[in-house]
Amino acid sequence: MLNIVIFGAPGSGKGTQSDLLKEKYSLFHISTGDVLRAEIKNQTELGKTAEGYISKGQLVPDALIIDMLAGVLDSNKDSKGVIFDGFPRTLPQAVALKEMLNARGTDVSAVVALEVEEAELIDRLLKRGQISGRSDDNFETIKSRLDVYNNQTSPLINHYKEEGKYKGIHGMGSIDDIFGRISDVIEAI
Ligand code: ADP
* Average pLDDT along the chain, 189 residues, taken 10 residues at a time: 97 98 97 97 98 97 97 88 98 98 95 98 96 92 98 98 98 98 97
Domains (range + CATH), the chain = 2-183 (3.40.50.300)
Is any atom of ligand 1 closer than 6 Å to the C-beta of 179?
no
Q: In the Cβ-directed half-sphere of 120, how many Cα atoms lie within 13 Å?
A: 12
Is any atom of ligand 1 closer than 6 Å to the C-beta of 25?
no
Is any atom of ligand 1 closer than 6 Å to the C-beta of 33?
yes
Find out whether 94 and 57 touch, Cβ atoms under 8 Å.
Answer: no
The pair phi, psi for residue 3, each rounded to 5°, is -110, 110
Q: What is the structure's pLDDT at 76?
A: 85
Q: N- to C-terminal Cα distance for the chain?
A: 12
Q: What is the structure's pLDDT at 91?
A: 98
- Burial of residue 173 (CB within 10 Å: 0-12, 13-18, 19+) is exposed
The reported pTM is: 0.96
Tell me how far the alpha carbon of residue 138 lies from the centroid of ligand 1, in angstroms.
15
Of 60, 41, 33, 38, nearest in space to 49 by CA: 60
CA distance 37 to 50: 9
Closest ligand 1 atom number to CA of residue 61: 25
Give Cα 4 distance to the centre of its chain: 10
Please name the residues in contact with 84: beta carbons below 8 A apart, sequence gap of 6 or more: 3, 4, 5, 6, 30, 97, 108
Is any atom of ligand 1 closer than 6 Å to the C-beta of 54?
yes
